[in-house]
Amino acid sequence: MNLAAFFSFVLLTSITPGPNNIMSMSNALKYGLKGSVSFLLGILAGFVCVMAACALFSALLYDIIPSVRPAMMCVGTAYLLWLAWKVWRDTGEEAKAGTLRANSFAAGMSLQFVNIKIILYGITAMSSYILPYYRSLPAVTGFVLLLAASGFIGSCCWAVFGAAFERLFKKYRGPVNTVMALMLVYCSLAILFDL
């Protein structure tokens, strides 16, 4: 496994704006960090469930249809390139428009089951980075927990440093988005060419 590409993908996906991070930041700004803890714990619980489902789905596809691996890698590559395009073109207005007002454990957990970003994150990570190299239950479970923890940590960072991140992204949006987009392109090329 190309660890640099894998960890770049995990880091970028965890820290870039998405429903979890935007809502964590919004809730922390409205209710304070202490008032957002239950929402953040809901994110963690939901993240573990969705990552486990993504691992199971990807593993079943690999076992049932072994020839699906190249197609899944192509889909993962296409998703990363699309994500790079979206990050590069991001103005920040779309994420704010979609911010919800819920701040509970149930809201945080249920958000994960409709959060296309983490569903695609889990399927891409499992099918492109993890399952081609690791198939044992302990290894896959470890990766499920790693992916969930990284998403949770990203959401917590946005909650803790929400105001600073918002100002930073507004001030340096162009250069930050360009660097993140280029790193996602690198990740996609690493998958495509199995570097």
Per-residue pLDDT of the chain (195 residues; tens, 9 = 90+): 788 888 988 988 888 877 788 788 777 777 778 888 899 999 999 999 999 999 998 888 777 766 766 776 777 677 767 767 876 776 655 444 444 445 789 888 888 887 778 888 898 899 888 988 998 999 999 999 999 999 999 999 988 876 566 667 667 777 877 877 787 787 677 767 764
User: Rounded to whole angstroms, how far apart are CA atoms 75 and 27?
Assistant: 33
Q: How far apart are CA 5 and CA 60, in angstroms?
A: 24
Helices 37-64 & 116-124 angle (0-180, nearest 10): 40
Cα–Cα distance for residue pair 183/194, rounded to 1 Å? 16
Of 83, 155, 59, 80, give the one whose Cα is nearest residue 112. 155
Give the Cα separation of 164 and 166 in Å (integer). 5
Predicted pLDDT at 49: 95
Q: Is the dihedral of CA 165, 166, 169, 170 positive or negative?
A: negative
Contact indicator for 28, 157 with CB cutoff of 8 Å: no
- Tell me what pLDDT residue 46 has: 94
CA distance 170 to 163: 11
Residue-level pLDDT at 108: 85
Helix (H, G, I), strand (E, B) or coil at 132: coil
Q: How many residues does the chain have?
A: 195
Q: Could you tell me how many helices (H) and strands (E) the chain has, helices first? A: 10, 0
Q: Which amino acid is at 92?
A: G
- Whole-prediction pTM value? 0.70
| CA 115/CA 127 separation, integer angstroms | 18
Question: How many angstroms separate the CA atoms of 161 and 29, rounded?
Answer: 10
C-alpha to C-alpha distance for 3 and 145, rounded to whole angstroms:
17
